[in-house]
Amino acid sequence: MPESTKMNKPDVKIVILGDMNVGKTSLLHRYTERKFKDTISTVGGAFFLKQWGPYNISIWDTAGREQFHGLGSMYCRGAAAVILTYDVTNWQSYAELEDRFLSLTDTANPDCIFAIVGNKADLTDSDAHVADPEGGQGDGSKALAPPTGPAPPAALQVPKQVNREDAMALYARVLRYKDLEEKACLPAGRMCFETSAKTGYNVDALFESLFDMVLPAILKRRNNSRDSTVDLNTLRTHRRTKAGCCD
Ligand SMILES: Nc1nc2c(ncn2[C@@H]2O[C@H](COP(=O)(O)OP(=O)(O)OP(=O)(O)O)[C@@H](O)[C@H]2O)c(=O)[nH]1
Ligand SMILES: [Mg+2]
């Protein structure tokens, strides 16, 4: 049975946002199916459930197309983590994150975690052209990802328009937008990733470090709901006592 059909209610939610064509769906395919396959532009949104230890994590893929923009804040409602994705060869896709997508995260959890992800690193970076040697099966087991051949000659590489420093600067601005103290948050170095859905470069590292980072949010939610649970036995005894006027 596929992993996604035997799952229960999700404990926590992660949302992938970003402009159309940056590779959001491809990142999710790469992680869940260990493949880079043809995609069609996402309509609305779709989600995948991942079991991580005893917890169920839902990962929401959203549509980057302008016409679906209004749905973004709905998908972000209650999110414990948001992945802001751009294409490293496209400056506009980076600029759009702040102009168009950041405000959608107003509905996320107050302690939501943000990751900034520059995808399509294989187009610019020969390291990213090599399949991720840590590539796992998506279930925690590790296997070598298929080789992807030699890196393209430098002349065929696309110029990189967005650098890691730009991503780290955006991370700092996101924290300011959220009114969060930089010192109290996870450091930019851990939250900015360059990935390639095509080769698998850094894809497991992205998703699996986020899964670990949202675990405290799950535990907090469980504790809160335990605190607000009413013990029916206590309540019944109390009611009976009151009704009988014996107290
Ligand atoms: N070279 C390269 N191409 C990629 C990569 N990721 C995605 N692509 C290509 O980029 C195009 C868009 O990929 P999608 O995953 O559909 O993009 P998306 O962000 O989901 O787009 P929307 O659903 O429209 O918001 C496709 O042609 C992919 O094959 C990557 O890491 N490297
Ligand atoms: Mg898509």
What are the pLDDT digits (tens) for 102-125? 999 999 999 999 999 999 999 997
Residue 138 has pLDDT above 80, yes or no: no
Predicted TM-score (pTM) of the model is 0.83
Pick the ligand that lies closest to the CA of residue 27.
1
Residue 147 has pLDDT above 70, yes or no: no
The residue nearest atom 2 of ligand 1, judged by CA position, is 120
Per cent of the chain over pLDDT 90 is 63
Residue 1 has pLDDT above 90, yes or no: no
Instruction: Indicate the SS3 state at residue 114.
Output: strand
Pick the ligand that lies closest to the CA of residue 63.
1
pLDDT tens digits along 158-184:
899 999 999 999 999 999 999 988 888
Torsion-angle region of 72 (φ positive above 0: left; ψ -120 to 50: alpha; else: beta):
alpha
Confidence (pLDDT) at 222: 80
More confident residue, 99 or 150: 99
Give the pLDDT mean for 5-21: 85
Which domains can be identified in the chain, with CATH numbers?
12-130+158-226 (3.40.50.300)
Burial track 183-211 (b if 16+ CB lie within 10 A, e otherwise): eebeebeebbbbbbbbbbbbbbebbbebb
Confidence (pLDDT) at 239: 47
Neighbours of 132 (CB within 10 A): 20
Q: What ipTM does this complex have?
A: 0.99
Calculate how far, in angstroms, residue 179's C-alpha sits from the geometric centre of ligand 2: 30
pLDDT band at 245 (very low <50, low <70, confident <90, very high): very low
Calculate how far, in angstroms, residue 73's C-alpha sits from the geometric centre of ligand 2: 17
Residue 65 has pLDDT above 80, yes or no: yes
Residue 143 has pLDDT above 50, yes or no: no
The residue nearest atom 30 of ligand 1, judged by CA position, is 120
Closest atom of ligand 1 to 19 CA is 25
The residue nearest atom 1 of ligand 1, judged by CA position, is 120
pLDDT tens digits along 33-63:
999 999 999 998 999 999 999 999 999 999 9
pLDDT band at 69 (very low <50, low <70, confident <90, very high): confident
Residues within 6 Å of ligand 1 by CB? 18, 20-26, 39, 41-42, 63-65, 119-120, 122-123, 196-198
153: Cα separation from own chain's centroid:
32
Calculate how far, in angstroms, residue 172's C-alpha sits from the geometric centre of ligand 2: 26
Closest atom of ligand 1 to 196 CA is 31
pLDDT band at 220 (very low <50, low <70, confident <90, very high): confident
The residue nearest atom 12 of ligand 1, judged by CA position, is 21
Give the pLDDT mean for 202-211: 97
Instruction: Mean pLDDT check: name the lowest of 3-17, 42-56, 158-172, 210-224.
Output: 3-17
